[in-house]
Structure 1
Amino acid sequence: MHETNVTIITMIHLLGFQSPQSITYYLFFLFFIIYCMTICGNLLIITLVSYSKNLHSPMYIFLTQLAVSDILLATDILPNAVHAVLVKVNRMSFTDCITQFYFFDVSETSECLLLTLMCFDRYLAICKPLHYSSIVNTQICLKMVIVTWILSASVVLIHTLTITTLQFCGPNIIDHFFCDLAPLLELSCSDTTLVQLEVTLLSALLVVIPFLIIIISYVYIIATILQISSTTGRQKAFSTCSSHLAVVSMYYGSLVCVYLVPTRKQSWNISKVLSLLYTVVTPLMNPIIYSLRNKDIKTAVEKTIKDLYNCYLNVS
């Protein structure tokens, strides 16, 4: 193709959800409420862990970072999705589209790594309890958290920069509610083999391998729990990792539905609905799962409410 015949895309049109006008405002309020609940729920987790000394442990340090990742993901996706529901066709510059994809990918990658660190923490606590305190401490946790964020931001930057070197000559319409990789590459008139190879290799490194580590760790965890003689001991050991197991199942289950099911066998409408699972539902459900299934979180909530109430009485 001659360069003079190439029209470079500067604006992206996101079709979002092509819903009937009769339910537009219902969808708007639904997404708006979900966004508010997601931000409040994850901020609550961060506040509780920071406020309560009983939660100053490695597992909850990782949990606060998971909450930060969920806030980043929700803020990156939901405001644009809410806007798209109202206007039907959401316009953004190509630069904004690439930026949205970058932060989306960073949050997803960091979530994979953080879930792996949380699983490793549970493995040590249940399978190596005598060595736990000598292996895991606050300083080591903070270092691992910093490495996780730096690694996520750096690795995602590699294929994001490669994407920016491609030529995008139209059409400039994406039938999705955010700038995901597959619909974005469909707009390119360049060879996308290098980008797809980079994404495949990096996904294997930062998504598939962590998932395998989680599976292997839980095999050892379940084997260790089954060896505990008392029923109370087994229940107590399982309760320490049940919340994490529920979050992992929901998160990776949604990723499998979206990325392992061939896109040609499913319509874009189905793909958009499935994408809601890990971009909208997971950030909303993570704090709920940890709040409802975790006794330490419940205790911290009750103590915080009592302290605030006593403070109010003293002021009055």
Structure 2
Amino acid sequence: MAQSNCTQVTEFSLAGFTQDPVTQVYLFLLFLLTYLVTIVGNLDIIILIRASHLLHSPMYYFLGNLAFIDLCFSTMTPKMFVDLMSEKKSIAYAGCKTQVFLFQLFGMTEYFLLAAMAYVAICHPLLYPLVVSPKCCFQLVTGSCLVGLTNGVGQTISMSTLSFCSSSTIDLFFCDISPLISLSTSDTTLSHIILTTAASLFGLFSILVILLSYVAIIATILSINSAEGKRKAFSTCTSHLTTVSISYGASFFTYLNPSSRAADKWAVVFYAMSAD
């Protein structure tokens, strides 16, 4: 319940990473390099898939959409660059709400795209280009976007129910629902329920599909007679599984523990950068 004498804030301050100017410069250069690699890499993927008829298969279709979502995810990064080099790090309430919506939208959409790719691999790990139709691919991508949109709208509504009176400093480098819940001076029960439900229901469902796909893929790999073929296949799976583990592990740590502080900040860094 909001306090009767509460004056709702119109602007939030962002704590960022550090107040040390030298460290800020190093972080700026590191994140700028990561941002540029993300932009160029994902654009190259999209252009290459669109230009080559040899890459018009279901898995590359999903990969192209995943690259596009990564580009959308990176739209919040320039604001972080400005804040790293600015003495005053602030964001308007409306801008904060927009960041919550976009981060939750693109984050959940990406997770379900990964799950959709895993589902395709489950069907027939080596024959999916022959059995998965373009219509099925379109439906899976559309469904992923709808789940992401539902999550984004839900978390934005959750933020709208919160009141912020005693403090307006977010202990993070951008607006996200988890630190906002910790910052709120009103009853956060509904927000906790929405956040935990989304992380548990949507997140656990998508990771379960991915894990099942790896069971099917590993079973197929073990049937390969060539030792070199097995080694290459396992190498590919290991690198992809590592990326998925970092992304999901960091996000679950953040959203299932919304009251944590410093550790959350770096967990979100891994979460956001692994998405890129």
Q: Report if TM-score (shorter chain) is over 0.5.
A: yes
Q: SS of the counterpart of 2:124?
A: helix
Residue 32 (structure 1) aligned with residue 32 (structure 2): yes
Partners of 1:106 and 1:197 in 2: how far apart?
Answer: 18
Out of 164, 186, 190, the position equivalent to 2:182 is 186
Out of 190, 195, 200, the position equivalent to 2:196 is 200
Q: SS of the counterpart of 2:125?
A: helix
Change (3 A) 1:94 1:221: same
Partners of 2:2 and 2:201 in 1: how far apart?
Answer: 38
- 1:226 positional shift: 1.2
Aligned amino acid, residue 125 of structure 1 = H
Question: How many residues align structurally?
Answer: 276
Where do residues 72-83 of structure 1 align in structure 2 (5 Å cutoff)? Answer: 72-76=72-76, 78-83=77-82
Out of 260, 269, 272, the position equivalent to 1:276 is 269
Which stretch of structure 1 is more off in the superposition, 202-211 or 19-28?
19-28
Q: SS of the counterpart of 2:70?
A: helix
- 1:244 positional shift: 3.8
Q: Is the 8 A contact 1:110 1:148 kept in 2?
A: yes
Q: Is the 8 A contact 2:18 2:24 kept in 1?
A: no
Q: Is the 8 A contact 1:16 1:89 kept in 2?
A: no
What stretches of structure 2 of length at least 5 have no aligned partner? Answer: none
Partners of 1:231 and 1:126 in 2: how far apart?
Answer: 18
Indicate the residue corresponding to 2:83 in structure 1. Answer: 84
Cα RMSD (Å): 2.5
- 1:26 positional shift: 2.9
Aligned amino acid, residue 124 of structure 2 = A
Partners of 1:199 and 1:121 in 2: how far apart?
Answer: 28
Aligned amino acid, residue 276 of structure 1 = V
What stretches of structure 1 of length at least 5 have no aligned partner? Answer: 284-316
Partners of 1:23 and 1:101 in 2: how far apart?
Answer: 27
- 1:233 positional shift: 4.9
Q: Is the 8 A contact 2:246 2:274 kept in 1?
A: no
Which stretch of structure 1 is more off in the superposition, 205-214 or 29-38?
29-38
Change (3 A) 1:136 1:235: farther
Change (3 A) 1:119 1:243: farther
Change (3 A) 1:134 1:22: closer
CA-to-partner distance for each residue in 1:30-54, whole Å, 9 max, x for gaps? 2222212211111111111111111
Q: Is the 8 A contact 2:104 2:155 kept in 1?
A: no
Partners of 1:259 and 1:166 in 2: how far apart?
Answer: 17
Indicate the residue corresponding to 2:215 in structure 1. Answer: 219
Q: Is the 8 A contact 2:103 2:152 kept in 1?
A: no
Partners of 2:244 and 2:2 in 1: how far apart?
Answer: 49
Change (3 A) 1:88 1:18: farther
Partners of 1:60 and 1:101 in 2: how far apart?
Answer: 29
- 1:72 positional shift: 1.6
Aligned amino acid, residue 161 of structure 1 = I
Change (3 A) 1:239 1:198: same
- 1:258 positional shift: 3.9
Partners of 1:190 and 1:229 in 2: how far apart?
Answer: 62
TM-score when scaled to structure 2? 0.89
Partners of 2:129 and 2:273 in 1: how far apart?
Answer: 36
Q: SS of the counterpart of 1:87?
A: coil
CA-to-partner distance for each residue in 1:43-92, whole Å, 9 max, x for gaps? 1111111111111111011111111221122212x212211211144111
Q: SS of the counterpart of 2:85?
A: helix
Partners of 2:229 and 2:41 in 1: how far apart?
Answer: 31
Partners of 1:95 and 1:219 in 2: how far apart?
Answer: 44
Residue 95 (structure 1) aligned with residue 91 (structure 2): no
The percent of aligned pairs where both chains have the same amino acid is 37
Partners of 2:196 and 2:3 in 1: how far apart?
Answer: 30
Partners of 2:121 and 2:155 in 1: how far apart?
Answer: 32
Change (3 A) 1:253 1:155: closer
Partners of 2:195 and 2:243 in 1: how far apart?
Answer: 24
Which stretch of structure 1 is more off in the superposition, 80-89 or 59-68?
80-89
Partners of 2:238 and 2:2 in 1: how far apart?
Answer: 58
